[in-house]
């Protein structure tokens, strides 16, 4: 596992340093950092690969990662980029993880979450991410990446495998704030707003690189919430 994660990190670095990249909207996370304010970095599970390079300060990010085997692989891989991991999810036995994340953010920390991980449905936001934003008081900032040279894997998340010597772009979206006194209707409105913003970002980034957009799964029924975490 350690060797696989080391090789994976090397490949990510290869793609980064052989490609031509730009970041749009980096002033958004920078403004939070300059003010000493925490935020929740939200991106789709399928756009995980290049996110360690979405911002010059990703070493400040703590990722919420599931305890499954794939989650452990991802945790050890991102460790090579000085990104720390918090094991758990926001809905499945995740009370301890939620408390840990809230403590981190109250201390000014930044938390990364995939709102459709670890099981899907693809590109659908569950309740956990907006609940964390309400409890912590931290804004949610969506982000994504897209590349001109890629393979879209057949996995549940349609994982975007970036290829070397590519053009690439990172996009940051506008912050979404969830009031501390938000009721169920407000939480659902913010959940839908975040989902729409993340899918719009991903679609725009793909279009900028001349690639077709990846479509989200049909939404789940209300009796099966989506977990937020990383790693299947």
Query: Among all chains, which residue has been given the structure tokens 């918090």?
Result: 86
Which CATH number do you get for residue 166?
3.40.1010.10
User: pLDDT tens digits, residue range 139-153?
Assistant: 999 999 999 999 999
* pLDDT for position 231: 43
The percent of residues in the chain predicted with pLDDT above 90, rounded, is: 74
The percent of residues in the chain predicted with pLDDT above 70, rounded, is: 92
Task: Look at residue 232 and tell me if it is in a domain.
Answer: no
User: pLDDT tens digits, residue range 30-79?
Assistant: 999 999 999 999 999 999 999 999 998 888 889 988 877 788 889 999 99
Task: Look at residue 226 and tell me if it is in a domain.
Answer: no
User: pLDDT tens digits, residue range 150-203?
Assistant: 999 999 999 999 999 999 999 999 999 999 999 999 999 999 999 999 999 999
Q: How confident is the model at residue 87 (pLDDT cuts 50, 70, 90)?
A: confident
Task: Look at residue 223 and tell me if it is in a domain.
Answer: no
* pLDDT for position 1: 87
* pLDDT for position 198: 98
Task: Look at residue 71 and tell me if it is in a domain.
Answer: yes
Tell me how many domains the chain contains.
1
* pLDDT for position 91: 55
Query: Cβ contacts of residue 59 below 8 Å, gap of 6+?
Result: 81, 82, 83
Task: Look at residue 138 and tell me if it is in a domain.
Answer: yes
Task: Look at residue 106 and tell me if it is in a domain.
Answer: yes
Task: Look at residue 15 and tell me if it is in a domain.
Answer: yes
pTM for this model (two decimals): 0.91
* Domain that includes residue 128, residue range: 2-208
Task: Look at residue 214 and tell me if it is in a domain.
Answer: no
Query: Cβ contacts of residue 107 below 8 Å, gap of 6+?
Result: 38
Considering only 2-16, 60-74, 101-115, which range has the smallest mean pLDDT?
Answer: 60-74
């Amino acid at each position: 596992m350690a060797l696989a994660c080391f090789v994976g990190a090397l490949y990510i670095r290869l793609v980064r340093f052989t490609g031509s990249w730009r970041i749009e909207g980096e002033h958004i996370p920078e403004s939070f950092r300059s003010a000493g304010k925490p935020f929740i970095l939200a991106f789709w599970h399928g756009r995980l690969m290049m996110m360690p390079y979405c911002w010059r300060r990703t070493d400040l990010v703590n990722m919420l990662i599931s305890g499954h085997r794939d989650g452990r692989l991802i945790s050890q891989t991102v460790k090579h980029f000085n990104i720390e991991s918090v094991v758990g999810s926001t809905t499945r036995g995740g009370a301890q993880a939620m408390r840990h994340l809230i403590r981190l953010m109250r201390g000014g920390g930044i938390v990364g979450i995939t709102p459709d991980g670890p099981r899907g449905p693809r590109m659908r936001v569950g309740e956990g991410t907006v609940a964390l934003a309400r409890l912590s008081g931290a804004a949610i900032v969506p982000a994504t990446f897209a590349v001109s040279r890629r393979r879209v894997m057949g996995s549940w998340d349609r994982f975007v495998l970036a290829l070397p010597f590519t053009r690439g772009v990172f996009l940051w979206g506008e912050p979404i704030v969830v009031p501390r006194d938000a009721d169920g209707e407000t939480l659902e409105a913010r959940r839908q707003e975040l989902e729409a913003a993340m899918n719009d970002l991903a679609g725009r980034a793909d279009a900028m690189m001349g690639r077709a957009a990846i479509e989200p799964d049909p939404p789940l029924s209300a009796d099966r919430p989506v977990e937020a975490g990383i790693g299947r």
